[in-house]
Amino acid sequence: MAHAHAVAGAYVAPRTATGIPNGKLGMWIFLASEVMFFTGLIGAYLVLRMGHPSWVGPEGHLSVGIGTLNTLILICSSTTIVLALAADARQQIAAVRGYLAATIGLGALFVLIKIFIEYAAKISHHILPSSSVFWASYYTLTGFHLLHVLGGIVFNLVVLSSTATPAVWAHQRRRLEWAGLYWHFVDIVWIFLFPLLYLFSR
């Protein structure tokens, strides 16, 4: 069994049979399964889209402005988590905390806009998954993505809590890379959903 230990205060990565830390390998395997999950959902969306000429229906369209805003928010959050990783490489724990907090805050802003502005507006106008095939697809795709954003926020909060003391961080810092991989995946999924739902559904 591989062990991680500190030598002269420096973190030494655990040895593994594959040359890749077990946690990182596990995250890649998990993300591969998530790719297949979202590929199936997007594929089903495309099949339904091609089979329904009057796609959106009389209920209205999505706000491109809101979708663009949320896209920019997630792109910014990807930047902040990259900056957190760079700060960790320089052993600047305070900067890691700041950039992680910014990533969490941007993720939370995305969630708030999605739920309390976008979803709330649609529901107030009685636009529900049962309204049409498009809206069923929209709520399904964005709903699952929203759950993944919430999961990423929780993951980042766990990593942030590990920065409380240098001693704890020395043994937990590798989780920052795993959180970064997951967060980038969430952002990439949205990059696909935004044009499919907001730009090409008309």
Domain boundaries, the chain: 22-199
For the beta carbon of residue 153, count every other beta carbon within 10 angstroms.
21
Q: What is the DSSP letter of 163?
A: G
Claim: this prediction has a pTM higher than 0.85: yes
Return the bridge partners of 92, or none: none
Overall CATH class of domain 22-199: mainly alpha
For the beta carbon of residue 12, count every other beta carbon within 10 angstroms.
11
Q: Is the dihedral of CA 15, 16, 17, 19 positive or negative?
A: negative
State the pLDDT at residue 60: 66
Extract the residue ranges of the chain whose pLDDT is less than 70: 1-19, 53-60, 202
State the pLDDT at residue 28: 94
Joined tokens for residue 164: 């409380």
